[in-house]
Amino acid sequence: MKKYFLLLGLIIITLSSCLKTEQQNPPAAVDPAVQAATDDAAIKTYLAAHTDIKATKDTSGIYYQIVTPGTGPNPSGGSTVTVNYTGKLLNDNPFDSQTSYQTSLSSVIPGWTIGVPFIKAGGRIILLIPSRYGYGAYPNGPIPANSVLIFTIDLLSFK
C-alpha cells in the first residue's frame, strides 16, 4: 500500500511541475510590425470617435495632446516626478488612478518615459500609448495583453 501512495505522490508532483512550467512560459510571439499597425489603427479609430482629443503622433508612435504646457524646464527620462494620473483602456474603462504619485521616469513604462517630458511642472498631457510602450504582450492586472493605454497626467513637480 505504501508503494501506491509513493507512486501517487510522484505522479502528483510531476503533474504539478508541468503545470507551473506552462504558466511561466511567455505568451506567443506577436510580429511587432503587425502589432504596431494594429495599435496605430486602434488609436486612430479612438481619436475619430473622440474629436475632443487633438493628438499629435510622435516619431516613436505615441500620440499625445498637451492640454496645459506648464512652466519652467522639462523633466528628463531620469527625473523623479510627482503626478496625478488616470489610466484607461481604449474602451474608456479606467484601470488605475493615483494622486501625488511619485516615481522615477526611468522605472515606469516606456510610454511615460517618452511622453511626460513633453510637459513642464503644472502641465497636463494626454498620452495614447501603443502596447509596445506599455506592457506589450503581457497582461498586467486588469490590462489585457497588447493593450493600447490612455493616460491623462498632471505633472505636479519633478527633481
pLDDT digits 0-9 by tens, 37-66: 999 999 999 999 999 999 999 999 999 999
122 part of a folded domain? yes
56 part of a folded domain? yes
How much of the chain exceeds pLDDT 70, in percent?
A: 82
Take residue 46 and report the three cell numbers written for it: 479612438
Please report which confidence band the pLDDT of residue 102 belongs to, taking 50, 70 and 90 as the band edges.
Answer: very high
pLDDT of residue 15 exceeding 60: no
Q: Phi first, then psi: give them for residue 55, nearest 5 degrees.
A: -85, 150
Please report which confidence band the pLDDT of residue 5 belongs to, taking 50, 70 and 90 as the band edges.
Answer: very low
CATH number at residue 125: 3.10.50.40
pLDDT on residue 85: 98
CA distances from 48 to 37, 44, 52, 54, 62 (A): 16, 6, 9, 10, 16
Q: Count of domains in the chain?
A: 1
2 part of a folded domain? no
Say what the pTM is.
0.82
CA torsion through residues 110, 156, 65, 143, sign: positive
Rounded to whole angstroms, how far apart are CA atoms 22 and 68? 47
How much of the chain exceeds pLDDT 90, in percent?
A: 81
pLDDT on residue 121: 98
106 part of a folded domain? yes
131 part of a folded domain? yes
Residue 141 belongs to domain spanning: 30-158
34 part of a folded domain? yes
3-class secondary structure, 114 = helix
Lowest mean pLDDT among 25-34, 95-104, 132-141: 25-34
102 part of a folded domain? yes
pLDDT of residue 17 exceeding 60: no
pLDDT average, residue stretch 66-80? 97
1 part of a folded domain? no
pLDDT digits 0-9 by tens, 117-135: 999 999 999 999 999 999 9
Mean pLDDT of the chain: 88
Please report which confidence band the pLDDT of residue 30 belongs to, taking 50, 70 and 90 as the band edges.
Answer: confident
